[in-house]
Structure 1
């Protein structure tokens, strides 16, 4: 019987995570990329392993990899998005905070999303019907929960809205700090934790549409029932861009009030 798309995505992510786990903590070469970014040998090896699995199973699809770029059938309406290590700097510094992201976009919809934690062994996944985490061979349904009051902030550039929003400024905002406890992971693994009820929210600036880094995490949050919008409270990937992913409507409203987007960026 043909392997389903979600089963394929989970298998590919687990294989990529296995590569990253095996290489974790070893000395490896770094390959420079634009904007002071870099990839490690683990990024490249994990992506090659993932793409090999996907291409063998779906040879007529299109593919976009963080390290290898675009290839496959450019006319296909099915495109696999792969980020072999989101949190490369953490990983290279022997800090166990990274995610292996595999997603499938069919037409204009993200239909499958998987984010694997190579160090914990957890695999977060959705086929659009709720979110589950696979650990030690068992799938457990997840749901958002704001109880922790932990909000993860992405402090990495770019900052297209810096004229009115910088996530770092929230760290010195008395109102924010009285309501929430800030954390900085520098990996979209934090988005899976919002979906799983381990974080109350996640905030980042930037243009995220079609991003191999963010696609899986956003889809997991949406499928879990989180409130997911741009920084002004409008539809994701529109207007001012950026992202607020909140465990519930109350947390989202509180954060939106604190961010105070300019009036001309409010959703219409």
Structure 2
């Protein structure tokens, strides 16, 4: 292997980000996935650039892309999870809040990962030990912080726990309103921002997020940065009720769980 896994993740994410930038503001063909979900020519072209980069360097690894699915039959025990354009609706509406996510799962959890902001000229990345943001040729260690009190809430489906919990109901929770300020970025870029200290926390419902192309990179970044990460019931993600609560510190995490539990009680 002439290139390290973390360098490859960064290279692949940057390749995807370059394609995303090149399509911004252009006429985008939409490909329906059902309901209100769709992909665009930018998603597909960015995914191809990412997968071509990974395949050239790691031909024996499994590749899983959001748009193309599993495109490799490798048996190395290593799986790359690729979300070429997280925030497609934002992008189609010419809103620059998107992310390009690349994560390597080796074993049970993502380790190496990169999440690129195509318009902020930043790549958040981790080697599985620590997390950094790269601007140009400079890497800066990510340090979580709850000082902003900003919490991003994912308001989009699916809602597997809606009988007991909906993220939208947190907006009416007095405890949440007294402690935090709501934001809705509508992209997993916000998960990387928790690792970077730009958000105090992030909350979403959902299942199997470790293997999810949208969330794997963000989870790996936050874990390496030292964030507190659980499901919405305080159990490990992908256990119990599932979902995801990412917080900059233990106190913020406890406060977010209280707001979640207020719905159940």
Return the TM-score normalized by structure 2: 0.96
**What SS does structure 1 have at the residue aligned with 2:212?**
coil
Partner of 2:127: 127
Q: Indicate conservation of the 8 Å contact 2:165/2:264, yes or no.
A: no
Partner of 1:69: 69
Once residues 137 and 197 of structure 2 are traced to their aligned partners in structure 1, the CA distance between those partners, rounded to angstroms, is: 21
Q: Which runs of 5+ in 1 are unaligned?
A: 264-268
Alignment of 1:86-165 (within 5 A): 86-165=86-165
Alignment of 1:211-226 (within 5 A): 211-226=212-227
**What SS does structure 2 have at the residue aligned with 1:151?**
strand
Distance 1:3 1:74, change over 3 A: closer
Once residues 259 and 16 of structure 1 are traced to their aligned partners in structure 2, the CA distance between those partners, rounded to angstroms, is: 35
Partner of 1:266: none
| Equivalent residue pairs, number | 263
Offset of residue 254 of structure 1: 0.9
**What SS does structure 2 have at the residue aligned with 1:72?**
coil
Which 4+ runs in 1 deviate beyond 2 A? 73-76
Q: Does 1:23 align with 2:23?
A: yes
**What SS does structure 1 have at the residue aligned with 2:168?**
helix
Partner of 2:247: 246
CA deviations 1:172-206 (Å, max 9, x no partner) are 22221111000001110000000000000000001
Partner of 1:237: 238
Partner of 1:196: 196
Partner of 1:9: 9
**What SS does structure 2 have at the residue aligned with 1:75?**
coil
Once residues 138 and 31 of structure 1 are traced to their aligned partners in structure 2, the CA distance between those partners, rounded to angstroms, is: 38
Partner of 2:259: 258
Once residues 141 and 223 of structure 1 are traced to their aligned partners in structure 2, the CA distance between those partners, rounded to angstroms, is: 10
Once residues 117 and 253 of structure 1 are traced to their aligned partners in structure 2, the CA distance between those partners, rounded to angstroms, is: 29
**What SS does structure 1 have at the residue aligned with 2:140?**
strand
**What SS does structure 1 have at the residue aligned with 2:256?**
helix
Offset of residue 75 of structure 1: 2.5
Offset of residue 73 of structure 1: 2.3
Offset of residue 74 of structure 1: 4.2
Once residues 210 and 105 of structure 2 are traced to their aligned partners in structure 1, the CA distance between those partners, rounded to angstroms, is: 12
Partner of 2:50: 50
CA RMSD of aligned residues (A): 1.2
Return the TM-score normalized by structure 1: 0.95
Q: Does 1:178 align with 2:182?
A: no
Distance 1:209 1:140, change over 3 A: closer
Offset of residue 58 of structure 1: 0.7
Offset of residue 111 of structure 1: 2.0
CA deviations 1:185-239 (Å, max 9, x no partner) are 1110000000000000000001123100000001111111000000011111101
